[in-house]
Amino acid sequence: MMRETVLVTGARGFIGAWVVKTLLAGDRPVIALDLEPDADRLAAVLEDDPTTALTEVSGDITDHDALSRVIADLDVGSVIHLAALQIPACAANPPQGALVNVVGTANVLKASRDAGLEGPVVYASSVAALGAERADGPPSTIYGVFKRANEGTAAVLWRDEEVASIGIRPHTVYGVGRDRGLTSGPTKAMLNAAAGLPYHIGFGGSFQMQLGADVARAFVAAAGSGFRGAAVLDLPTPPTDMASVIAAIESALPAAVGTITFDPEPLPLPAGPARTGGDDILGAFQETPLVAGVEMTIRHFERLLANGRITPQQ
C-alpha cells in the first residue's frame, strides 16, 4: 500500500503553499521542505487552516544525501517538487540557477528512485521551457533552458532506470502568495487594488491565467495518479489578455477603475498550451473562471490586509 505522506519541496513558495493547502484539505500528511526562512507566504495562503498534519523541515535540494535522509526517515510516499529559483534570479546568477533548478531536480528524481517510491515524482516545469516562436524552438530565458533540461533528465531516467515522473508546465499563475517572478504583475495589481493603490503591470499580450488553487489541484492529482512513464503536461486554460485581467479586477473592485495600467509588450513565451491531453493522468482540469478567480483572490487579500498580515508590493 502506498504511503500517505507527501514531501513538498519549495513548500514556502507560491505554488508550494497552495499544494500544501490542498493536501491538508484532503487529510494528507505533508512534509514541507524549504530553505526559505520566511513563512509568511505559506501562512497567508493557509490563513486559519489546521496544520496538525504539517511537518516543516529545512532542507536543501542540492544536497542529495540530506534529501535522501528526509525521504527515508520521514516515511515519504510521494514527492511534489516545486523548489526552484525564478527567472530574475536565474538571469542574475546562472551557475546558482543551474545548481538549484537542474542539479536539484536530478537529486529529487534520484533520491526518490533510491527510496523505491511507487508513485511518479511530480515536478514543476514551465511554459518557459518552450520557444516563444514555436514550441520546439530555443527557450527565451536561461530559466527556460533549465526547465527544458529537467524534462530531458526525467525522460532519460524513466528510459534507463524507470523513475516515473510528471512535469507540469504552468503559465501565468496568480493568487495570494504570488509575489515573485516575471509573471507576478497581475497578482501584485490585485493586491494593490485591494489596498486602494494604483499599479502598473510590466507586460501585456496574450497568455494563460491560472489560479494557484487550480494549479495545485493538478499537481496533487498527478502525485496520486499512479502513472508509470515520463510525461510533460500543459494545463488547458485558454489564452486571455491583459485588458480582460484588468476588467476582472475592476469588476471585483469598482473603485480600482482606471488605476491599473500595463505595458503592451507581450511576454517572450507562448500564449497558450503546446500540448493537449493529460486527462487520463490528471482527470479533467478544474478551471476557475477568470472573473471568479480574481474576485476570490481580491477578497482573500482584503482579509489579509484587514488583519495586518500582508502589505502591498511594487
Task: Report pLDDT digits (tens) over 55-109.
Answer: 999 999 999 999 999 999 999 999 999 999 999 999 999 999 999 999 999 999 9
What angle, rounded to 10 degrees, do the helices at 104-114 and 64-73 form?
Answer: 40
What's the DSSP call for residue 99? I
Three-state DSSP class for residue 82:
coil
What end-to-end distance do the CA atoms of the chain give, in Å? 48
23 has a pLDDT exceeding 80: yes
Rounded Cα distance, 143 and 126, in Å: 9
What is the mean pLDDT of the segment spanning 31-50?
92
Rounded Cα distance, 48 and 191, in Å: 20
**pLDDT above 90 as % of the chain:** 83
Q: What is the residue extent of each domain of the chain?
A: 6-306
CATH of 6-306 given 3.30.360.10, 3.30.559.10, 3.30.450.260, 3.40.50.720: 3.40.50.720
Neighbouring-strand partners of residue 199 = 260
Rounded Cα distance, 80 and 107, in Å: 13
Locus of grid cell 479533467: 284
Interstrand relation of 199-201 and 78-81 (parallel, antiparallel or unpaired): unpaired
Neighbouring-strand partners of residue 241 = 206
Q: What is the pLDDT of residue 276?
A: 61
What is the mean pLDDT of the segment spanning 221-248?
94
Q: Hey, what amino acid is at 121?
A: V
3 has a pLDDT exceeding 80: no
